[in-house]
């Protein structure tokens, strides 16, 4: 899965599918460059402090062993979500014109189920906005996107199930408040806008 918070596209032209794909291909290589940079950093540090690097590598080994089973679970969930891609798209589209409780629910659930790079969603959200979607629902959708179901097992691994449930519930609930506040600011600053 490509990164969620990514560098912005070079121009507004990303609203089309082509540049998004190009950026995605570049990001695919970006991960390997990142790994190479970290390895270079290790080599540089090793030249000055070999003991520090040895201790860091020991910790790295322990980390890999401890999170490997969790990562397997992460990818099973990711695979299941990829299977339900059509449902996610329908939810995202439904969240545009509906108002009331149903609109909020669809925005939040659509946000939670959506995945992939954030900038890939901007063109769709822009289209929905042009069709009259409430800024509140767009903001709630974007906020709820921060709940990543496939990655929750790793959060449980580090912080426990109670912590994970509490954080996830708060983010889901606050996505509605967040959307409402954003819309309030938009209305206050742009009186003509509904």
Q: Between residue 152 and residue 181, which ones bind other proteins under the rule CB under 8 A?
A: 154-155, 157-159, 162-163, 166-167, 170-171, 174, 177-178, 181
What is the nearest approach in angstroms of other proteins to the Cβ of residue 9? 5
Q: Site for other proteins (CB under 8 A): how many residues?
A: 78
d(CA 69, CA 33): 26
Between residue 28 and residue 57, which ones bind other proteins under the rule CB under 8 A?
28, 31-32, 34-35, 37-39, 41-42, 45, 52, 55-57
What is the nearest approach in angstroms of other proteins to the Cβ of residue 44? 12
- Here the tokens at position 96 are 């545009």
d(CA 4, CA 148): 10
Size of the chain, expressed as the number of residues it contains = 194
Q: What is the DSSP letter of 99?
A: -
Unique residue bearing structure tokens 């206050």: 188
d(CA 136, CA 182): 6
Cβ 33 vs Cβ 43: under 8 Å: no
What is the nearest approach in angstroms of other proteins to the Cβ of residue 22? 14
- Here the tokens at position 78 are 């990711």
Cβ 123 vs Cβ 14: under 8 Å: yes
What is the nearest approach in angstroms of other proteins to the Cβ of residue 100? 22
Between residue 54 and residue 93, which ones bind other proteins under the rule CB under 8 A?
55-60, 63-64, 67, 71, 74-75, 78-79, 82-83, 85
Q: Which is nearer to other proteins, 77 or 94 (CB)?
A: 77
What is the nearest approach in angstroms of other proteins to the Cβ of residue 158? 3
Binding mask 8-27 for other proteins (x = CB under 8 A): xx--x-xx-----------x
Q: Is 119 in the site for other proteins (CB under 8 A)?
A: yes
d(CA 9, CA 68): 33
């Amino acid at each position: 899965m490509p990164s969620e918070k990514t560098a912005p596209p070079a121009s507004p032209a990303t609203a089309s599918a082509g540049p998004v794909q190009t950026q995605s291909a570049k990001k695919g290589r970006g991960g390997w460059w990142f790994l190479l940079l970290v390895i270079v950093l290790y080599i540089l540090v090793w030249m000055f402090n070999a003991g520090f690097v040895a201790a860091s590598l020991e910790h790295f080994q322990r980390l890999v062993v401890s999170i490997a089973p969790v990562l397997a679970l992460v990818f099973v969930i990711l695979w299941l979500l990829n299977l339900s891609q059509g449902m996610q798209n329908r939810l995202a589209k439904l969240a545009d014109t509906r108002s009331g409780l149903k609109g909020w629910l669809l925005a939040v659930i659509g946000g939670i189920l959506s995945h992939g790079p954030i900038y890939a969603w901007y063109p769709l959200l822009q289209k929905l906005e042009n069709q009259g979607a409430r800024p509140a629902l767009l903001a709630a959708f974007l906020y709820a996107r921060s709940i990543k179901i496939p990655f929750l097992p790793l959060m449980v691994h580090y912080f426990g199930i109670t912590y994970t449930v509490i954080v996830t519930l708060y983010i889901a609930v606050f996505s509605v408040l967040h959307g409402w506040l954003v819309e309030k600011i938009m209305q206050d600053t742009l009186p003509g806008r509904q």
